[in-house]
Structure 1
Amino acid sequence: MTDEQTETDGKQAQTDGGGTGIVPPDDETPTWSERKQRTEGLSRLTYEYFERARREDQDLRQESSYVERDVLAFPVWPHEMIRNLSLTSFFVGMIIFLSATLPPHLGAPADPNSTPAVILPDWYLYWSFGLLKLGPLNPELAILGGEKLMSDRAYGVVANIVVVGIVAIVPFLNKGSARRPVEQPFWAAVGMMGFAFAWTISIYSAKNLAPIAPHLLFDLTFLVPPIVGTITYAVLKAMREGYMFDLNRRYYRLRPPK
């Protein structure tokens, strides 16, 4: 092979931009001004940055004996910006598409002189509204002659304070270095229980609209979360010795504690 052929092949490899799916190595990567002159557009440019980031990450992991998440990173520009712009463009496009094809229905204007049959807050406050309906759990104390210690409304407010307090204190109870749920199945199960309870108590808040008997819906509100937590714990416990746990140990090796 002559020197001219070698130089020609090198130039072709350096300017390779279509069809091969191969991104040039770091020392052969075109400059930003050269990229702007290309006609492939944002899709090709995005692919090249993703591919280069993947290769750099792979090289770093092969060269190092351990990996720290706060050490391995990529520049904000262009790697992170290209990725974030791609994801943002996708979701914005989906929102525009849904708003164009499925426009929201605008009902009749509110009438201040009539009270609706069912009053509900915004959807993200259903869980709090459901806690205000926990009157059946408010105990009737015999020492007070069968009277309740507090009203059902006050009991619901206390329930909100307790639930929010539990959510706030959990991060202080679990200070582990886990990166994935499979590393700590117990706390992952606790999180899934809380997630399931948020759904069940939200459904219970709209019990007037649910096609289930109120007493059955009340029982399911407190039975479903432990079942979800148990299933989550069992599944993650079974995965600890399998592929996902080995993959996690290999992908995020932490520095041993001093």
Structure 2
Amino acid sequence: MADNNNDEEPMADGGSGTGIVAPDDETPTWRERKERTEGLSRLTYEYFERARREDQDLRQESDYVERDVLAFPAWPHEMIRNLSLTSFFVGMILFLSAALPPHIGPPANPSSTPAIILPDWYLYWSFGLLKLGPLNPELSILGGETAAEGAKLMADRTYGVVANLVVVGFIAIVPFLNKGSARRPVEQPFWAAVGVFGVVFAFTISMLSIKNLLPIGSSLLLDVTFLLPFVAGTISYALLRSMQEGYMYDLNRRYYRLRPPK
């Protein structure tokens, strides 16, 4: 029985016992692996075991492990995996399109305008920014009374366009402001909270764009649009700050031995 176990798990590096798989000069090729009878499970195990051994050796020899890249060749390893995943999802889409075809409604009447006009759902946030007319400040010159439109610095439509430019500009500048090397939200709670704020704001401003379809008052919906993102961001920041002590380091003990927190 002992001889059989030794045959199934040969020593690496000439029998030194430092790993399970053979070194590079003794590693079988892809075609030789395919011809084996152990099956895909054994093949996968050997690849992961070799990656583990190389990862361990590299960490013992290298001083700066963050720039050391461990990976398998793109062909055939990564390509076969990606093609398998792509084929699965394409098959699911084809199945759903064949089993559940979309309903085709009556043709549009060019002589009548719909009561509610909305863009595609993924543009609701931008359409909601065009409905910030109540936030457009009015001006009162020399103590005079303000008019409905004449006393505004810019028209409501222009105000909505400027709001789009401000939001898109802020999203574009965030990567230049956050230059840290954090890999997890818990490492930088502030920027993680900013991301939560942006996601919740996109949802609430989308709700504002379809306010005609929601059973909520316009003033209350406008307050919720700007209040809920701040609440969600604050809660996220507080939770991530509380997770920094203890939980994060215990969960990622191996990671932080290589890259201790600042």
TM-score w.r.t. structure 1 length?
0.78
8 Å contact 2:59–2:65 — kept in the other structure?
no
What SS is found at the alignment partner of 1:191? helix
SS at match of 1:148: coil
Q: Is the 8 A contact 1:182 1:244 kept in 2?
A: yes
CA contact (8 A) 2:133 2:160 kept: yes
Asked whether the equivalents of residues 193 and 225 of structure 1 are also in contact (C-alpha less than 8 Å), the reply is yes
Unmatched segments (≥5 aa) in structure 1: 15-23
Deviation, 1:61, is 6.4
**8 Å CA contact 1:182, 1:237 repeated in 2:** yes
Q: Does 1:99 align with 2:97?
A: yes
Q: Secondary structure at the match of 2:110?
A: coil
Give the structure 2 partner of residue 217 of structure 1.
Answer: 221
Q: Which amino acid aligns with 2:220?
A: L
Assess, with a 3 A threshold, how the Cα gap between structure 1 residues 66 and 227 changes in structure 2: closer, same or farther: farther
User: Is 2:55 the counterpart of 1:51?
Assistant: no
Q: Give 1:92 deviation, angstroms.
A: 3.1
Structure number with greater CO (CA < 8 Å, separation at least 6) is 1
Identify which range, 55-64 or 104-113, moves more after superposition.
Answer: 55-64
Q: Which moved more, 1:30-39 or 1:234-243?
A: 30-39
Report the CA distance shift for 1:237/1:113 in structure 2 as closer, same or farther (over 3 A): same
The residue type equivalent to 1:190 in the other structure is V
Mark the CA change 1:93 to 1:85 in structure 2 (over 3 Å): closer, same or farther. same
Any unmatched runs of 5+ in structure 2? Answer: 11-19
User: Aligned partners of 2:63 and 2:99: how far apart in 1?
Assistant: 50
Q: Is the 8 A contact 2:129 2:164 kept in 1?
A: yes
The amino acid across from 1:215 in the alignment is S
Q: 1:160 to 1:85 in 2, by over 3 A?
A: same
Question: How far apart are the structure 1 equivalents of 2:179 and 2:105?
Answer: 48
The TM-score, its normalising length taken from structure 2, stands at 0.77
CA distance 1:37–1:65, shift in 2 (3 Å)? closer
What value does the CA root-mean-square deviation take over the aligned residues? Answer: 3.3
CA contact (8 A) 1:68 1:255 kept: no
Structure 1 residue 176, shift from structure 2 partner: 1.0
Structure 1: which amino acid aligns with 2:132?
L
Distance 1:54 1:233, change over 3 A: farther
Separation of aligned partners in 1, 2:50 and 2:128? 47
Would you say how many aligned residue pairs link Structure 1 and Structure 2?
A: 244
Q: Which residue is equivalent to 1:128?
A: 126
CA contact (8 A) 1:66 1:254 kept: no
